[in-house]
Structure 1
Amino acid sequence: MTKASDLFVAALEAEGIGYVFGIPGEENLDLLESLRGSTIRLVLTRHEQAAGFMAATVGRLTGRAGVCLSTLGPGATNLVTAAAYAQLGAMPMLMLTGQKPIRSSRQGHFQIVDVVDMMRPLTKYTRQLVSADSIPARVREAVRLAEEERPGATHLELPQDIAGDDTTARLLPPSYVRRPVAEHKAVARAAEAIRQAKHPLLMIGAGANRKTTSKMLRGFVDKLGIPFFSTQMGKGVLDETGPLWLGTAALSDHDFVHRAIDAADCIVNIGHDVIEKPPFFMHEGRRTVIHVNHSSAHVDAVYFPQIEVVGDIANAVWQLTDALTPQPHWDFAFFDRTRDALCAQIAALAADAHFPLRIPHLVQCVREALAPQDIACLDNGLYKLWFARQYRCHAPNTLLLDNALATMGAGLPSAIAAKLVHPGRRVLAVCGDGGFMMNSQELETAVRLGLDLTVLVLRDDAYGMIKWKQSHEDYPNFGMDYRNPDFVRYAESYGARGHRPASPGQFRAMLRDALDAPGVDVIDVAIDYGRDDALLNEEIPRMSAALPPPT
């Protein structure tokens, strides 16, 4: 006979789970004791939401389900935002929640919420365990579905009395799975459309951000020389420092990359995920769009691809690469001009060493300070647009940003998880002051874990993105300003080091020193968003429109 909670933890170990993030409650005591004797590391956090962000980030970086834990009621409801974060962002994650005994109750409905029903619209799979014998099958299915394309969130509720039961059930071994490959006639039709095009263009979406897909795409562009651009969550799938990179669709429209998109007569759309904003709008008859993805297209008024290649993305890209050779009539001259103009404009903005810092200069400082494999984890705010547009990635998952749920508060927790997964890389959290304060208590978690971590707090003493939107739409400034604590002393109160630069030169030096120093460093840097409205809505559209049209 085996105790149910011991079997549950053994099932997690069999799935390769290395961490459980969260805050246990009294309903989790059996599970907690089983974890104590296991190979799994319990990472105690200061908020369940942060635990969920950490688990989702483990899933994002490894492709294997990250796991988070909470008690019932208020602990479980605190996981809701993290569930949506993982589900919309295609990050494999398993949430474990406790519950009161289900065979008898001595407390009525105290703290009782129907967590399974609550999680249903936010997950791929949610179940209450009603018998110890069902544990092996439920854990196997929850992990399998979390990791299966399209990845996302799953949830299991382990009631207190079930956790303490005995069982004779045995673990189920993981099944061997190969994803179905695209049908060869669909590949042939897509290859012919690319072959006949004059200005083919490659688009890399969030669904392409998988290890094997990145390798196959490198082979595709190296052989064919077709230029590429990415969505925000497709950044880094291919090295963005080479001559074929045309930019990231960070702005809604009217950027240099959109001029290239408009000039393309065939767009090969690799891994487009409708969760992200459309990187381009389709218009009937203007171009051929080829949809390459693990599932068929979600057709709407602005996305109706003429050719669909459905199956394992990496295999589909390999088949296309094998079927194609460079064509003498392909013309990429206009694409080259858009890239050169974009790079020149980025360089000019980055050279503006104003203080308080403007974001384009700050992005350049961060890029210079981080090595190609180091990781920058963004929270959510106006600065994300500049990082997406300007920060050129060398490798996949080295700029972690959220363009799906786009929640605030995830920057610091995701950086903690990234450092645990990649202890040999330097990790930087980039947070607006608003997003930082939503989970700033996790500084204690980072210090307690002994992590080497740098946190960059961009301070404008306001919810800057919405303040910018107010200004752009001619609303008066109202309700967006607040007061911040002294972030230097705040960091020190947790046992971290605090820094506050007074010039661009000081910032560069502090950032470099903090990244190289052991322990947790917090840099409070004043930010000026004053020019952003003119740049994003006037100057960049005007400069891109002035680019001579394709011949």
Structure 2
Amino acid sequence: MILAAKRPLIMVGGAASRLDQHPNAQIRDLVQRTRIPFFTTQMGKGVVAEDSDLYMGTAALSEGDHVHEAVDKADWIIAVGHDTCEKPPFIMSEGGPKVIHIAHQPATFTQAYWPQLEVIGEIGASVAALADRLEGKLLNAGALLPLREEILALIGEGADDKSWPVTLDHVVHVVGKVMPEGSIVTLDNGLYKIPFARKYRTNHPNTLLLDNTLATMGAGVPSAIVAAMLNPGHRVMAVCGDGGFQMTGQELMTAVEQKLNLVVLILDNGGWGMIEAKQTAKGFPNYGVNFLNPDFVKLAEACGAKGTRVETLDDPVPALKAALKGGGVHVVAVPVDDSKYKRLLGGLRSPKAKPPSA
């Protein structure tokens, strides 16, 4: 099936990120030896380095995202390690791309995902065997690569935005600029998860930790605490919305007690941005989406941590660099403008998938 494909595309899913290092290397080897371009789900980021010349982007949405320029034109998608507990990275439909599912477990068939073929077993062994059989034989391996430049240009938009408050696109650019190679970023859940999935280049497994299944709010700080405890030699940053932080922000005390090196970046918009956008998408009036915040600097200091509030566009980079260099637990609060992503989600409607008839 892959040999006959005219426009093949590899998708790396969340289950692949849970493998040990050896199968991760085999998945990277499959991409390099076949020269088939790849994209990732949100939770599959980093399994294959995203500085690769074959990277086509990450599916931050189920449809209409930048990467779907390639997804919609593919005739076969080779889904490696996709776990259907994750939000669908694309919606299958009759006449759309066909799918080969390579995983430890059979796929859970849904209206969004019903692969034509399943290869079930140890993922590393499966992809290694595929690479052996496909290397040098795929005349159409790079058929979708001409789309890459335009997709990456769209992904890069907004990095140098000079507006104030700071845009979410610019926040991703700043975090990517200050975090060393191999450092760990944990996300809470909110609108900022979309630009981080799209734009934050991840070259190592499990270095951008985000929840794209239950999408549990309040997960950012506890995830970062455990990451810092397990990886004392790595820089760790939690990126949280103000609402998500207020759910579990008291765990700053735990981080201080454990003498961790941890930076918590709070994106302050004074409301539930994603909930507001979803209310708009459903045609509902906005209700209960705004709230008051405490003084995050004083809150951090009350917990025995350090605190900084960003006041101008020139401040985020030096503030985060100083927090990372200073060690200990440091909270950095920055006002953000999330209007772009409110408009994006507010304009979405439920996809109309058509599974094959019985």
Alignment of 1:468-479 (within 5 A): 468-479=277-288
Which residue is equivalent to 2:182?
373
Equivalent position to 1:203, from 11, 14, 37:
11
SS at match of 1:349: coil
What secondary structure is seen at the aligned counterpart in 1 of 2:61?
coil
Give the Cα separation in 2 of the matches to 1:347 and 1:290: 30
* Residues 130-171 of structure 1: per-residue CA shift (max 9 Å, x gap): xxxxxxxxxxxxxxxxxxxxxxxxxxxxxxxxxxxxxxxxxx
Q: CA–CA distance in 2 between the matches of 1:348 and 1:294?
A: 37
Aligned-pair Cα RMSD in Å: 1.7
Query: C-alpha separation between the residues in 2 aligned to 1:217 and 1:303?
Result: 22
What amino acid is aligned across from residue 205 of structure 1 in structure 2? G
Equivalent in 270, 280, 285 of residue 461 of structure 1:
270
Quick check: 1:257–1:338 contact (8 Å CA) kept in 2?
no
Partner residue in 2 for 1:184: none
Give the secondary-structure state (helix, strand or coil) at the position aligned to 2:29: helix
CA change 1:408–1:538 in 2 (3 A) is closer
Return the letter of the residue paired with 1:523: V
Pairwise CA distance, 1:532:
2.2
Write the distance in 2 (CA, Å) between the matches of 1:194 and 1:390.
29
What's the offset of the Cα at 1:348? 2.6
Unpaired stretches in structure 2, ≥5 consecutive residues: 349-358
Aligned residue for 2:246?
Answer: 437
Q: Is contact 1:491-1:497 (8 Å) kept?
A: yes
Structure 2 residue 307 is the aligned partner of structure 1 residue 498: yes
- 2: CA distance, partners of 1:228 / 1:380: 25
The SS at the match of 1:531 is helix
Using the alignment, how far apart are the partners of 1:509 and 1:489 within structure 2?
20
Aligned-pair CA distance for 1:297? 2.0
Equivalent-residue separation in structure 2 for 1:405 and 1:292 (angstroms):
23
1:267 aligns with 2:77: yes
Task: Compare 264-273 and 391-400 and name the one that shifted more.
Answer: 264-273
Structure 2 SS opposite 1:277: coil
CA apart distance, 1:205: 0.8
What's the secondary structure of 1:392's corresponding residue? coil
Pairing partner for 1:280 from 82, 86, 90: 90
Relative contact order (alpha carbons < 8 A, sep ≥ 6): 1 or 2 greater? Answer: 2
SS of residue matched to 1:308: strand
CA shift for structure 1 position 536: 5.6
Q: What is the one-letter code of the residue matched to 1:215?
A: A
Report the alpha carbon displacement of residue 219 of structure 1 after superposing the two structures with TM: 1.0
C-alpha distance in 2, partners of 1:328/1:477? Answer: 52
Q: Provide the rounded CA distance (Å) in 2 between the counterparts of 1:327 and 1:263.
A: 21
Aligned equivalents of 2:280, 2:346: Cα separation in 1? 12
Further displaced range: 378-387 or 272-281: 272-281
Aligned partner of 2:218: which letter? G
The alpha carbon displacement at 1:537 in A equals: 6.5
Query: Unpaired segments of 5 or more residues in structure 1?
Result: 1-192, 540-551
CA distance in 1, matches of 2:340, 2:157: 14
Q: In structure 2, how many angstroms separate the alpha carbons of the residues matched to 1:373 and 1:474?
A: 42
Partner of 2:352: none
Give the TM-score of the pair, scaled to structure 1.
Answer: 0.61
Equivalent in 237, 241, 244 of residue 51 of structure 2: 241
The aligned counterpart of 1:215 is 25
| Residue 448 of structure 1, CA deviation | 1.2
The 3 A distance-change label for structure 1 pair 213 and 360 is same
Q: What is the aligned partner in structure 1 of residue 224 from structure 2?
A: 415
Of all paired residues, the percent bearing the same amino acid is 46
| Aligned counterpart in structure 1 of residue 321 of structure 2, from 509, 512, 520 | 512
Residue in 2 that maps onto 1:316: 126
Q: Which digits, 9 at most, give the CA deviation of each residue in 1:257-288, with x for residues without a partner?
A: 11211111111111111111222222335443
Give the CA deviation at 1:347: 2.6
| Structure 1 pair 274–328 and aligned structure 2 pair: CA distance change class (3 A) | closer
**Structure 1 CA distance for aligned equivalents of residues 112 and 248 of structure 2:** 37
Aligned in 2, Cα 1:509/1:439: closer, same or farther, shift over 3 Å? same
Contact 2:277/2:343 (CA < 8 Å) preserved in 1? Answer: no
Give the deviation of 1:475 after TM superposition: 2.9
Choose which of 255, 263, 280 in structure 1 pairs with 2:65: 255
Structure 2 CA distance for partners of 1:448 and 1:405, relative to 1, 3 Å: same
Supply the distance in 1 between the matched residues of 2:154 and 2:112 (Cα, whole angstroms): 29
Q: Which residue of 2 aligns with 1:300?
A: 110
Over 3 Å counting, the alpha-carbon distance change for 1:406 and 1:535 in structure 2 is: closer
Residue matched to 2:170: 361
- Matching residue's letter, 1:327: K
Please state how far the C-alpha of 1:519 moved relative to its aligned partner: 0.9
Mapped partners of 2:339, 2:96: distance in 1: 38
Corresponding residue for residue 402 of structure 1? 211
Tell me the alpha carbon deviations over residues 6-28 of structure 1, each in whole angstroms, 9 at most, x when there is no partner.
xxxxxxxxxxxxxxxxxxxxxxx
Alpha carbons 2:264, 2:330 under 8 Å: kept: yes
Bigger CA drift: 276-285 or 435-444? Answer: 276-285
Aligned residue pairs total 346
SS at the partner of 1:490? helix
Counterpart contact for 2:9–2:37, Cα < 8 Å: yes
1:223 CA displacement: 1.0
Shift of 1:252: 2.1
Classify the secondary structure of the residue corresponding to 2:334: strand
- Given residue 424 of structure 1, which amino acid in structure 2 is its aligned partner? G
Residues 460, 527 of structure 1: 8 Å contact kept? yes
2: distance between equivalents of 1:206 and 1:231?
7
- Output one character per residue of 1:471-495: Cα deviation in whole Å (capped at 9) or x when no partner: 3444333211111110000100111
Q: Secondary structure at 1:413's aligned position in 2?
A: helix
